[in-house]
Structure 1
Amino acid sequence: MTQTLSKISNEITTVRKDLDSLSVTTNGLKDEMSVLRLDQTKLETHVSRIESTISQDINDIKQSIEFSSQQQTSFDKRLSDLESNSKSYKLIEEKANSLELKMNNLDQQSRHCNIEITNVPDKRGENLTLLIDKIGLAINFPIPQKEIIAIHRVPHMQSDNKTPKNIIVKFASHTLRNNILSAYRLAKGLNTDQLGISGASHRIYMNEHLIMNKKLLFRECRSFAKEHQFQACLGQKRNNTYARVRHIADLQNPI
């Protein structure tokens, strides 16, 4: 009996030891679970922060894309407006150029009976009508005074210009003007001594009375003809096949 009780007591002691050992193990597991829970909490907090940061970054990217889209839309609109304005400006420029061309043509048309005489010395109290009479005799083409509508000298554009002022003569008809110029060219030149003008003899020139831009064009044509060794620089003439030069750009392809 005593042995049995002793054996039971030993078994109970062993069980208690096992329980104590299990309790220690359980406590260790509890501690580890607590650590795991703490780590999980920390991980969840970290993940939450990352998600929040990513979400904010995504929102920032969306806002940036929306802003860029708005900027692009604004840019496209401005570009469209500029293109529209450019077309309007081009139309206005074309109309202005057309009006300028018409005005120049009208201005030139108003001079179609005029001759411009250059390099005739100025003289106080001069009689320009008598001068035209002498020119007519010198070129073998008498010019009746009744065919002279107006005659005068024109001032220089630059006040420091010391050359003689040009003389403008308006005749009664375009045909008469052309005949006088033809006679001048047939005469092969005109000098001051032929007109009884004192001083050293020098050349006098007679040409159509051109507006300023046509004068500049004519000078460019003469310079171009000289540079390319053309025999003559001629204007466009009806029923002839001369190269038509209406603008300096036409000189790039004169043939």
Structure 2
Amino acid sequence: MAVVLKEKFDDIKEQIEGIERSVNFISDEYDAMKTRLDTLEAGHKEYVRRFHEIASNSGEQKAAILEAKIDSMEQQARQCNIEVCNLPEKRNENLLTITESICSTINSPVSHNDIISVHRVPHARQQDTKPKNLIVKFRSRIIRDNVLSAYRNAKSIKSDQIGISGASVSVYLNEHLTLKNKALFREAKILAKKSGFKYVWVRNATILVRERDNDKSFAIRSVEDLNKIVASKKNGTNSAN
């Protein structure tokens, strides 16, 4: 009897040990599966995060590219224009005659047929007390370039030289830049002055900077390019393009 009971006990003990081994195996498998699942979840979260980051950056890049293209098209549409600044305003002024007088004064005469349109533009800020700028659109870019070249050769022009009464003031002729390029030009002049650069000018809607007379010039096409001015000054080099 005792032998039979011992055999049954051993059999039950073996079954229990087998169950324990199975439970431990299942537990180990569960832990391994949970670890893999946690890893997959973490990987999924990282993938989603990077996807949104890339999508967001892609959207910003596309918007920046589109904005640059639009600004380029706007600048292209102004290639036959000049902007006349600080020209005193008079009641009943004849802007066409004034434009012809300006061109004659700088030895680059034009006719009525050379001028497509001429008008003053409102100030960006209403509180601005300076005369409104004058926009002149010529029949061709060649005429525009000839006028600007003659103005640069003349170096300066005064209001009394073109028959405008009152106190004599300097009148300036510039390429007609977009608002974005105007802001960039303004920033470039400020930073160039701080950095000791002697020349900042615009040629064919491109902002150019030169530190000294015999140095090469380099172009400023974006805000990032402005940092080149400071960097080249600190490094004692000229980052010419």
For 2:149, the equivalent position in structure 1 comes to 182
Matched, 1:110 2:77: yes
Tell whether 2:191 aligns with 1:216: no
Whether 1:169 aligns to 2:136 is yes
Residue aligning to 1:242: 217
Q: How far apart are the structure 1 equivalents of 2:150 and 2:115?
A: 17
How big is the shift at 1:72?
7.0
Q: Deviations over 1:125-144 (max 9, x none)?
A: 11100001110121111111
Give the helix-richer structure, 1 or 2: 1
**By percentage of residues, which structure has more strand?**
2
SS of the counterpart of 1:149?
A: strand
Secondary structure of 1:233's match? strand
Over residues 5-50 of structure 1, what are the superposed CA-to-partner deviations in whole Å (9 max), with x where a residue is unaligned? xxxxxxxxxxxxxxxxxxxxxxxxxxxxxxxxxxxxxxxxxxxxxx
Query: Residue 129 of structure 2: SS of its match in structure 1?
Result: coil
What is the number of equivalent residue pairs in this alignment? Answer: 191
- Matches of 1:192 and 1:112 in 2, distance apart? 25
**TM-score under structure 1 normalisation?**
0.67
Q: Deviations over 1:88-144 (max 9, x none)?
A: 111121111111111111100000000001111222211100001110121111111
Residue 235 of structure 1 contacts residue 244 of structure 1 at CA under 8 Å; is this kept in 2?
no
Query: Per-residue deviation at 1:206?
Result: 0.6
Q: Distance in 2 between matches of 1:72 and 1:156?
A: 61
Q: Which residue of 2 is the match for residue 226 of structure 1?
A: 193
Structure 1 counterpart of 2:100, from 120, 127, 133 = 133
CA RMSD of aligned residues (A): 2.5
Which of 43, 47, 57 aligns to 1:90? It is 57
Q: Secondary structure at the match of 2:181?
A: helix
> Percent sequence identity over matched residues?
38
- Displacement after TM superposition at 1:236 (Å): 5.9
Give, in whole Å, the separation in 1 of the partners of 2:45 and 2:123.
49
Within 5 Å, give how 1:189-208 maps onto structure 2: 189-208=156-175
Larger radius of gyration: 1
The range that moved more, 192-201 or 180-189, is: 192-201
The residue type equivalent to 2:61 in the other structure is: E
Contact 1:236-1:244 at 8 Å conserved across structures:
no
| Alpha-carbon distance in 1 for matches of 2:201, 2:189 | 9
Structure 1 residues 132, 236: CA separation in 2 closer, same or farther (over 3 Å shift)?
closer
Change (3 A) 1:150 1:176: same
